[in-house]
Structure 1
Amino acid sequence: MYVSESSRTTTPLFLLLRHVLAIIIRSEKRSRNILEDEQKPLISLHAQYTKLPDDQLWDAPFSCGLHPCIRPTVRYKAVQGSNRYITVRSNGGLNQMRTGISDMVAVAHIMNATLVIPQLDKRSFWQDSSTFSDIFDDIHFITTLRGDVRIVEELPKGLESVPRARKHFTSWSSMGYYEEMTRLWKVYQVIHVAKSDSRLANNDLPLDIQRLRCRALYNALRFSPPIEGLGKKLVERLRSRGRRYIALHLRYEKDILSFTGCTYGLTDAESEELKIMRDNINHWKVKKINSTEQRIGGFCPLTPKEVGMFLQALGYPPSTLIYIAAGEIYGGNIHLSELTSRFPNLIFKETLATNEELKAFVNHASQTAALDYIISIESDVFIPSYSGNMAKAVEGHRRFLGHRKTINPDRKGLITLFDQLESGKLTKGSSLSNLVQQMHKNRQGAPRKRKGPLLGIKGRARIQTEESFYENPYPECICS
């Protein structure tokens, strides 16, 4: 084969240039891979987590065409009014009072009585002096329920001094129980209810009574105009900072840690302070609590550090905007830093609203809790660190509004994984991430019917194990 002289002289030079170019390309590719790796979400020790598509992180679960249905059936008989009256002292925090008031609306209807606007709890842990009209739109409450039960702002003057039947209605009671209680009208014209929480059963009530409870809670108990106005304004400000946000109900507060006896990660001084608080509150009956057993059993709120690890394992990037729906975090920034180190974009109502806007809410815990409630309802994702009254009420409302995404942590399962991680039995990174994501695949607020009582439990204790009606009002108030 003939090869020209020029080809024989240029071939070595061409091969050399091609070799140098290949080295440069490989070097650039390695640099690009390193940069991409550095931009991936990290946990402590820089272990990588599995990244999920945005729709899996943020989109609501498929709701199967379900929608709210709270209109009464054709068999429903509205109450026309009565000269018998029920007065109520609501007990607990904001959401315990809200669900209790909704129960009392239904009780007044069953007993064919006029309901006097309830008195709110001023003696609980929060010591909030707010009246009904400070928190709720009282005129809207009265007019919205006009076709269901007669509601008045106060007892008629002539009945203020008459003897009253003072009742602690039995918790989780049936329709038949309250029909039996109507015998009290033979002796008394006024019944005073000392506590409003959990006065009705979750299940086996007539459909119209269940729908009345939903009309009361979701339609009639609207927050007062100042709270509604500021709440909507704060939601708009969150949206302007980022298109999507998580509302995190971080229940790492002094009262719940003391009540549950959960001291994991706390100092000896902090643990002793919580014990003293528990000993000094008389109506908290259990004084000696094994903190380790509580945590292993999943009965403790997740710590800020555990919440951070949980969110990372779910696949949320460090840039995620997170609104903290909570009161004062126990230990302040010392404990909160274990969450902010992973997710620095934490927003509090104190940083979202101006001092002037919050001025009217100072020392009114129930009113500030109402702001948290509004922001939580409107969030793209709601995550509670503990299954208390707020968590249950928000989850139920979000289900009612179209099964908005609500991730309910499996605390018992997570603690097992975190402890295995700490002991070295579990690998950081994708191994943990895959386990956490699989564990929570069916805990994101998708439609399901309300859970009944646990098996093997008898008597009234069996009723207490049922899922709360207000946590999941399906199927009575949600239809296809």
Structure 2
Amino acid sequence: MARSKIAKKQCYISVPSQIISSISSSSIQSLLAPPKKSSYKRTTSKLGFLIKSPMFWVVSLFIFAFLGMSKLFLNLDPLTPFFPNLCNTFPRKHSPFLIMQSHLQLGGEKQDLISEGRLDLQSGDSGGVGGGVDGGGGEEREFWKQPDGLGYKPCLNFSEEYRRVSREIMRDRSRYLMVVVSGGMNQQRNQIVDAVVIARILGAALVVPVLQVNVIWGDESEFSDIFDLEHFKRILANDVRIVSSLPSTYLRKRPVEESRTPFHASPHWIRQHYLGRLRRDGVLLLRGLDSRLSEDLPSDLQRLRCKVAFHALKFAPRILELGNKFAERIQSQGPYLALHLRLEKDVWVRTGCSPGLSPEDDEIIHNERKRHPSLLTAKSNMTAHERKLEGLCPLNALEVARLLKALGAPRNTRIYWAGGHPFGGKEALLPLTREFPNLFNKEDLALPGELEPFAKRASFMAAIDYIVCEKSDVFMPSHGGNMGHAIQGFRAYAGHKKYITPNKRHMLPYFLNSSLPEGVFNKIVKELHQDSLGQPELRTSKAGRDVTKYPVPECMCNHSSGH
């Protein structure tokens, strides 16, 4: 990641002449002057007289105070009128003036965060890659170290047959696919990716997807509110024809609606069930596309998935601008870790897990689940403890803190946490903030009024989280989910940026063993995560993997092998 480089050049301090004259006129001058030839007795006598002189101590105190202030403010910009030759030999992030300036940029209301230790603008010397900062120790440097990617680089080499069919699809004006996508922003992204691929399979033009109003958050955003529509059309111009609306000749036709697409449908199934109907009526409407398209597709269609996910689905300009601002505010102080915390009330209810805050809080979640059994998406025949041991529950704040410490994260690590407000409020985050006080989210980083236009737009907020997480030096989710999967694939495709996958199933028994010494615990946890710290995994090594989460080998080639 690009960071401002520090110019290194020789410099000296030009001390004001008034100070020099005051020093030279003092009695200390006699002490600094070359000694005259005299007896040892006379010299020591004179030295003793000076040491006993009050003037000696006054001048000495002045000199030491001056030197101390020079050291302290060596990088203080407002002193340049008095020290005209002062230069930035040392990193600007240590400048007290820059700290004050950063505080002003973050807004006056952030003073409480700084005073509480939650927002540390001085801690720019936590080990960093690409930041020109010494990590202060091998363990810290190792934490920020990026994987080498094993030589894999993005490459979307479509076959000649794919390109030939593309020309035919672009000429067709008789088939149109309409889709309605649902869920949160990241879930909608997945469905849009599959909608493009289904349109390609059917040889149909894709009408810009409709984003269903989210019943939980009441978000009424349209496609162009979240994504850059013109960019979307331009990137896919040679793959699928994208139209903003149906042609007038089709407006009076009632589109045939199909909502019974099975999970993991193959291209053959889609053609067999939809192509005849589409040729007859000209328009097909699909709903509920989540996980409806198979993860195992021909190579060209897998590459199309990657093209949509990693190239075509770019956020709208104003979302991109704000997300980049937040990332730059954190990044200006050095490397940072992004953490997707899944601690919201609905997550605990849906997963069948207990938050572990208190017996009263666990009872609230249990009763909510009993009142709304349909919300439970996990296996109902398992207890909350059994689910936890199987690695099916989100990590709570204490477990996240212990994991990060074991993996070598320095205490002054700046952590951006994404996600909704945790069940239990700020109290739920205390185990994490005690170990890592520089913990903040988008509300902490925003200037007054900066987030107001997005207050009731959950998709906007999720998009901002996505951008800041994608740009982080290290990313870790506390639980699986659409956002974690999307970020994992994007970070692999964009340069193998470090991604930590918590090995929950194997590490939790050690978390529960309170007799384990910390050193032994840390060693075990590190060993359990050696294979899940960002190195690319082959999608083909396990059936049913999503190519947008594991883009190797369909969407990335190993340049060292000449592919």
Q: TM-score range by the shorter chain?
A: 0.7 to 0.9
Alpha carbons of 1:355 and 1:196: their partners in 2 closer, same or farther (altered >3 Å)?
farther
> TM-score if structure 1 supplies the norm length?
0.82
Give me the whole-angstrom Cα distance separating, in 2, the residues matched to 1:281 and 1:151: 41
Give me the whole-angstrom Cα distance separating, in 1, the residues matched to 2:383 and 2:344: 19
Instruction: Give yes or no for contact 2:306–2:547 (8 Å, CA) kept in 1.
Output: no
1:405 aligns with one of 491, 495, 498: 498
Does 1:126 find its partner at 2:225? no
Aligned-residue offset at 1:366: 1.2
> Residue type matched to 1:447 in 2?
P
* Unmatched segments (≥5 aa) in structure 1: 1-40, 42-50, 454-462
Please list the CA deviations of residues 141-162 of structure 1 after superposition, one character each: whole Å capped at 9, or x if unmatched: 1122111111111223442342
> Residue type matched to 1:331 in 2?
G
Give me the whole-angstrom Cα distance separating, in 2, the residues matched to 1:195 and 1:97: 10
Please list the CA deviations of residues 54-111 of structure 1 after superposition, one character each: whole Å capped at 9, or x if unmatched: 4421121121221111242222121214321111110221111111101110110110
> Residue type matched to 2:145 in 1?
D
Give me the whole-angstrom Cα distance separating, in 2, the residues matched to 1:436 and 1:447: 20
Instruction: Give yes or no for contact 1:313–1:434 (8 Å, CA) kept in 2.
Output: yes
Give me the whole-angstrom Cα distance separating, in 1, the residues matched to 2:366 and 2:280: 46
Aligned-residue offset at 1:285: 5.9
Written as runs of structure 1 = structure 2, the 5 A alignment for 1:14-53 is 52-53=138-139
Q: Give the RMSD, CA atoms, in angstroms.
A: 2.0
SS in 2 for 1:323: strand
Instruction: Give yes or no for contact 1:246–1:322 (8 Å, CA) kept in 2.
Output: yes
Aligned-residue offset at 1:306: 0.5
- Corresponding residue for residue 267 of structure 2: 175
Give me the whole-angstrom Cα distance separating, in 1, the residues matched to 2:375 and 2:519: 45
Aligned-residue offset at 1:232: 0.9
The number of equivalent residue pairs is: 414
Alpha carbons of 1:123 and 1:284: their partners in 2 closer, same or farther (altered >3 Å)?
farther
Please list the CA deviations of residues 254-300 of structure 1 after superposition, one character each: whole Å capped at 9, or x if unmatched: 12111001114133443343345444374656695521111111100
- Corresponding residue for residue 555 of structure 2: 477
Instruction: Give yes or no for contact 1:449–1:474 (8 Å, CA) kept in 2.
Output: yes
Does 1:219 find its partner at 2:311? yes
Instruction: Give yes or no for contact 1:264–1:292 (8 Å, CA) kept in 2.
Output: no
Written as runs of structure 1 = structure 2, the 5 A alignment for 1:62-461 is 62-76=148-162, 77-78=165-166, 79-80=169-170, 81-168=172-259, 169-180=261-272, 181-203=274-296, 205-240=297-332, 242-278=333-369, 279-280=371-372, 282=374, 284=376, 288=380, 290-421=383-514, 424=515, 426-427=516-517, 429-450=518-539
Instruction: Give yes or no for contact 1:163–1:188 (8 Å, CA) kept in 2.
Output: no
Give me the whole-angstrom Cα distance separating, in 2, the residues matched to 1:287 and 1:394: 27
Aligned-residue offset at 1:131: 1.1
* Greater C-alpha radius of gyration: 2
The structure showing larger relative contact order (alpha-carbon pairs under 8 Å, at least 6 residues apart) is 1
SS in 2 for 1:357: coil
Give me the whole-angstrom Cα distance separating, in 1, the residues matched to 2:257 and 2:411: 54
Please list the CA deviations of residues 301-359 of structure 1 after superposition, one character each: whole Å capped at 9, or x if unmatched: 00001100111111112111101011111111111011100000002100111132211
Instruction: Give yes or no for contact 1:106–1:209 (8 Å, CA) kept in 2.
Output: yes
> Residue type matched to 2:527 in 1?
Q
Once structures 1 and 2 are overlaid, which stretch shifts more, 148-157 or 104-113?
148-157
Please list the CA deviations of residues 365-399 of structure 1 after superposition, one character each: whole Å capped at 9, or x if unmatched: 11111111111111110011001111111001111
SS in 1 for 2:450: helix
- Corresponding residue for residue 19 of structure 1: none
Give me the whole-angstrom Cα distance separating, in 2, the residues matched to 1:295 and 1:52: 33
Please list the CA deviations of residues 172-221 of structure 1 after superposition, one character each: whole Å capped at 9, or x if unmatched: 12221222131222432211111122232222x22211111111111111
Alpha carbons of 1:411 and 1:451: their partners in 2 closer, same or farther (altered >3 Å)?
farther
Instruction: Give yes or no for contact 1:91–1:124 (8 Å, CA) kept in 2.
Output: no
Give identity over the alignment, percent: 37
Alpha carbons of 1:298 and 1:148: their partners in 2 closer, same or farther (altered >3 Å)?
same
Does 1:59 find its partner at 2:59? no
